[in-house]
Structure 1
Amino acid sequence: MINKKILLIVGSLRKDSFNKQLAIFIQEFLNQYVSTEILDYKELPLFNQDIEFPTPQIVKEIREKFALADVIWFFTPEYNGHVSGVLKNLLDWLSRPISQNEFGIPNTTFNKPITMSGAAGKMKSIGSIKNLKEISSAMKMIPIDIDEVGIALSPESFQTNKLNLTNDDKNRLLNQAKALLSYINNLVKYD
């Protein structure tokens, strides 16, 4: 097992969201090789400068998990062509200064390697992935040079609330995961 950690961030708080199911599918594969965690941020308050300092405990905990991760993998639904409000809220908190007297991009996001996938309707999360790239770029995160995967949800998925991945979907996702593992392997320093 490689001594690296991937933090999986799902852009939906729904318990059985399609993107959470997607993250679990990837997590089951990745856990053979690296440590993973799906970030729980359902208790994160809406960003508001009135409550920014002193920093809420949940924000401190999320920043620490983000900072300790070697790579972040986002799983984004698409809401009107963009990322969800809850994911944008999380990113807004992460983009803020850690102390009142600091300015600029915090170290928790600066040069943080990221990749992304998404499950949505017929547009396959293309809009939200593009939007997430724009937001993460403003936060100085670095997209890894591997293909993102967008999944078109089938009508059956919407009827059953179960992610119905085709063999092609699975292969594309596993290829993304393997490319990520190759990237991570290059980060490991061997004696």
Structure 2
Amino acid sequence: MSPLKIAILVGSLRMDSFNRRLARAVERLAPDDFAFKHIQINDLPLYSQDFDAAYPPAATRLKKDIEAADGLLFVTPEYNRSVPGVLKNAIDVASRPWGTNSFAGKPGAVIGSSIGSTGTALAQQHLRNILAYLDVPTLAQPEVFIHFKDDLIADDGSIGSDGTRKFLQGFVDNYVAWIRRFAR
């Protein structure tokens, strides 16, 4: 059986992104038959309906990367109590032009990390609303709002806390079962 391909969209462009670390931690906890690809979003032009007739190459690449995936994992920080602009732009680009929504029907999940005590709860709720409109069936439970602290998750995704590792393994187990429900 070929591996299930998961497209990871990290909503942070920061080199030392806590959310990129969180994405790597999820990858490390997943079974071997899951193959993860971090989707590049830092080179996308701001969406404009003007280029619907002839999409720019970076936008076309994004759409193809999403379409090639069996499942989606959105890992988002929270900026001003909502979704970061770079992530929202990527979603707008990949869901357009009208009738060519690359996300439609692909199962996904939303997780996130922040140094704030409420984690990324509001950004995740906003993102779930957007994904519902785009026909992305989204894993509802468990919710993952990681209050990031130094040494919690290393750059390579290794987890420094047994409690966090156990919690994330529970999420990964549910996420894997969710994606397999939709596998073709």
- Please state which band the TM-score falls in when normalised by the shorter chain: 0.7 to 0.9
2:66 & 2:141 partners in 1: Cα distance?
21
1:137-148 aligned at under 5 Å gives the runs 137-148=132-143
Distance 1:162 1:136, change over 3 A: same
| Aligned residues with identical type, % of pairs | 28
| Larger CA Rg, structure 1 vs 2 | 1
Deviation per CA, 1:153-184: give whole Å up to 9, x if none. 23x46xx9999753322222111111122233
Q: CA 1:28/1:185 → structure 2, altered by over 3 Å: closer, same or farther?
A: same
Q: Which residue of 2 aligns with 1:61?
A: 61
Cα contact 2:108–2:179 (8 A) shared by 1: no
Secondary structure of residue in 2 paired with 1:144: coil
Higher relative contact order (CA 8 A, sep 6+): 2
Cα distance in 1 between the residues matched to 2:104 and 2:39: 19
Gaps of 5+ in 2: none
Query: Structure 1-normalised TM-score?
Result: 0.83
CA contact (8 A) 1:6 1:69 kept: yes
Aligned AA for 2:143? E
Q: Is the 8 A contact 1:67 1:109 kept in 2?
A: yes
What SS is found at the alignment partner of 1:32? Answer: coil
Equivalences for 1:1-191 in 2 at 5 Å?
Answer: 3-30=3-30, 32-97=32-97, 103-104=98-99, 106-120=100-114, 121-154=116-149, 156=150, 166-187=161-182
- Distance, in Å, in 1 between the alignment partners of 2:32 and 2:156 is 24
Change (3 A) 1:43 1:168: same
- Size of the aligned set, in residue pairs, is 181
Where structure 1 has 5 or more consecutive residues not aligned to the other structure, the ranges are 98-102
Question: What's the Cα RMSD here?
Answer: 2.5
